[in-house]
Chains A and B, each alone.
Chain A
Amino acid sequence: MFYREAGQYKTSYKADSAIFPILQDRIAIWFYLAVAFIAVPLFGSEFFINSMMIPFLIFSLAAIGLNILTGYTGQISLGSGAFMGVGAYSTYKLVTIFPDMNVILAILLSGFFAAFIGMIFGLPSLRIKGFYLVVTTLAAQFFLEWAFIRIPWLYNYNDSGAIEVPNRRVFDIVVSGSEASATTRYLVVLSIVVGLTWVASNLIHGRIGRSWMMIRDMDIAAELIGVRPLVAKLSVFAVSSFYCGVAGAMMVFLWLGAAEVESFDVNQSFLILFMVILGGLGSLIGSFMGAGFIWMLPIVIRAIPKILGLDINASTVEHINFMIVGALILVFLIVEPHGLARIWAIAKQKLRVWPFPY
């Protein structure tokens, strides 16, 4: 009833092909942003901000990174965890080598290191695709994991082998480290994620994004009409790894506070792939939905038996979580391969015609 576009006339092509063609959508997006930037820091408890919102945003960014590669360009990767690691370790090196460096700048810069490494491991994609590419990305995953352990320079020869986040100030506010407040870190994460999502949206809807999608849909035809596979493929690996790298750096610096190599292992890669699949391949909003879903699910599963007064031990919860995630992947791939984003779109379509669907 309220979600109706009657009376909104498009008077230019630009308006017609806008990302949010409907006024209500534009209002909604500003509303969400207002909630995220104002209401959450004001009213959210520390637990809510630190254990739900921050990881949700960080994983959303990683999922966007993988979605650009897998959803928009059709190159499947199981190495996103390792690329997150590249971002985290390079930020760590940057802030310890240059102690006065702005930590937010360091996080963004580290994305370029990740992009570079991503391009190197993306080189085989010029010759192969599909399952073959899966194996090369697994090679990246395992090789980088090994490097994070066996190259002690990367963690400054710490006895523990872990990277620890120092307290760093930006404009006299502690942004990273154990003393940074959850709200500060949340706002930094939110700003970075919103900014990079905007960039991603522009990339995807621009010339380069269209060339990625052409490669996905039919590579040979794309080449025939003038898309250069070399440029398109390497650029997508670079962009995707950049997003993963920034997400990894934020994960360590703005959320966990310290990390070992396990945080970037192959299971992390799987998890991000699941976020992309459940959220919807080739959809930015889907990346957010998938990340939110995968992240919130175990929290909800843990909460339900307590509300019902049942006593289920922690390990059973974990097992059930695995089963549900696995089963949902199957269900989604069978019933709705375009994921939550598609369901969202259907919902909006229904709303548009409600209450008179015919």
Chain B
Amino acid sequence: MFKKLTTGAVAVALAASVQISSVSAGESLYIPQLSYRTGPFAGGGTPIANGFGDYLAMLNARDGGIGGVPIVSDECETGYNSQKGVECYEATKGKGALVYNPYSTGITLQLIPKAPVDKIPVFSMGYGLSAAAIGEKFPWTFNYPATYWDQLSSIIKFIDSQDGGIKGKKVGFIYLDVGYGKEPIPLLDQLSKEMGFKVVKIPVGVKEMQSQGSQWLKVRKERPDWMIMWGWGSMNPTAIKEAAKIRYPMDHFIGNWWSGADVDLRPAGAAGKGYRSANMAASGTDFPALQDVLKYVVDKGKSQVKDRSQVGTVLYNRGLYNAVAVAEAIRTAQKLTGKKVITGADMRLGLENLDLSAARLKEIGLPNFALPIKASCKNHGSGGAIFMQQWDGKKWVKTSDGITPMTDRVRAALEKAADKYVAGKPDWVTQKCGG
């Protein structure tokens, strides 16, 4: 027994030491992928990771990478757990990581202070800390196309345009009780005061995600006119089922863009008919770039998707869109610096000067896939529009054009929040934006 154990231990120790000394060598663009394919949030994390990975794999297979440099990507499993996310960050940052896409607001919050020190930008696409959109205060953090606060204001704007306005109405806000769900609350409180509606907040703890009986009893008690949901993972399908159970009018129930995936609505099926959610990218595979993904990656068996039908779902395309933005930022950085192999600092420059216009989207084979993104030194993410989609019992149908956020209100609130964030930190790195 003992001898076996010692030999085993020695073998393992040797193996580990070999691993530590091996460094990814050669000319490549290293993009670590913090994904979660396990745990209660795997339903959302898996398609995102697939879409993200498959697009980069397609670029490698079709074009040999970006600007002739191959992309190397590692997945590190976070389980949507902030602590594991930081561990993944620490484990991969030394390998020349260009950018981190944490896919968790909790992990994003932890990485924000690390980014300027390690000189690796954090790109939380449509999530994370809203105030990080203020480029002067957060040079290393990006969250376009829109922050949570933008998105919330767009949803409120949408509600305001329905049924004779939002004034005097009661809005229920059901949210996952972690950093992510709590993020938009300051703006919600502010808007409720300014626009004259009442807010009922209903938190759902991570442990109660799958048994929301009490939460929806409270909804029944309070009878809000509208419900807004900031949910993720297995919270979403449960919430929709529970809403159907208490016969809440589905077309008055709006999810943000993390609460509107195919996996969220399929369990409810016809009962979820009428449920709306925000979105930022088109679904389906009718785009040349997605066809290329199918051709070069999925059909060759290089993807982790189980079958072709998973390509083109809401979250798959979201992950792919994220990879598109990263790839385009790398291209921009290569153009700006003239280097082929770039560093995290160059990547920051690329992200800051990203101009993903409608024309450029068409060029890369994604015409009308999403609304254009244009970043600047001042603005790292605020202001993008969202569109609404509605579940027809079987699939999502796009029902609105871009709804722009209430930029006047949001920008001021974001700046205030950014100041508050920086206030207690004397060593915080900021930047000045000329003009």
Contacts and interface: CB of A to CB of B under 8 A. Distances in A.
B182 A300 contact: no
B16 interface: yes
B75 A262 contact: no
A262 B206 CA distance: 9
Interface in A292-308: 296, 299-300, 303-304, 306-307
Contacts of A190: none
Interface in A328-358: 335, 343, 346-347, 350
Contact of B113 (A96, A178, A318, A347): A178
Contact of A313 (B81, B82, B86, B304): B304
A315 B77 contact: yes
A318 B19 contact: no
Interface stretch (B34-42, B227-235, B328-336): B34-42
Given A257-B86, A315-B37, A162 B109 contact: yes
B57 to A, nearest CB: 13
A45 B93 CA distance: 12
A306 B75 CA distance: 13
B178 A178 contact: no
B425 interface: yes
A161 B1 CA distance: 49
B16 A299 contact: yes
Question: Chain B contact residues (Cβ within 8 angstroms of A): what range?
Answer: 35 or more
Nearest to A46: B94
Contact of A314 (B15, B37, B110, B417): B37
A259 interface: yes
Nearest to A266: B207
Nearest to B42: A315
A318 B77 contact: yes
Nearest to B77: A314
A178 B82 CA distance: 16
Interface stretch (A47-55, A115-123, A225-233, A280-288): A47-55
Contacts of B113: 164, 177-178, 257-258
B215 to A, nearest CB: 15
Contacts of B22: 306
Interface string B171-207: 0000001110011011000000000000000000110
B54 to A, nearest CB: 13
Nearest to B94: A47
A260 B86 contact: no
Interface in A239-265: 256-263
Interface in B12-35: 12, 15-16, 18-20, 22, 35
Nearest to B187: A159
Given A260-B106, A318-B79, A159 B182 contact: yes
A46 B206 CA distance: 33
Nearest to B45: A315
A160 B77 contact: no
Given A164-B113, A256-B110, A51 B87 contact: yes
Nearest to B14: A307
A149 interface: yes
Given A166-B425, A343-B5, A47 B90 contact: yes
Interface string B65-100: 000000000011101011100110011001000000
Nearest to B33: A314
B182 A160 contact: yes
Contacts of B109: 160, 162, 164, 258, 260
Contacts of A96: 424
Contacts of B427: 167, 177, 179
Contacts of B1: 335
B12 A257 contact: no
Interface of A (DSSP majority class): helix
A317 interface: yes
A127 interface: no
B77 A167 contact: no
B433 interface: no
Nearest to B37: A315
A319 interface: yes
A314 B35 contact: yes
Interface in B215-257: none
Contacts of B179: 160-162, 260
A317 B114 CA distance: 27
A346 B83 contact: no
Contacts of A162: 82, 106, 109-110, 179
Interface string B117-148: 10000000000010000000000000000000
A304 B15 contact: yes
Nearest to A268: B83
A142 B19 CA distance: 39
B94 A48 contact: no
Interface in A35-66: 45-48, 50-51, 55
30 contacts: A45-B20, A47-B90, A47-B91, A50-B90, A51-B87, A149-B205, A159-B182, A161-B179, A162-B106, A164-B109, A167-B426, A167-B427, A177-B113, A258-B82, A258-B110, A258-B113, A260-B109, A262-B83, A300-B15, A303-B16, A303-B20, A313-B75, A314-B35, A314-B75, A314-B76, A314-B77, A315-B36, A315-B37, A319-B38, A346-B2
User: Across chains A and B, which 8 residue pairs bring their CB atoms closest together, nearest first?
Assistant: A315-B37, A303-B19, A314-B77, A178-B113, A314-B75, A258-B110, A51-B90, A263-B83
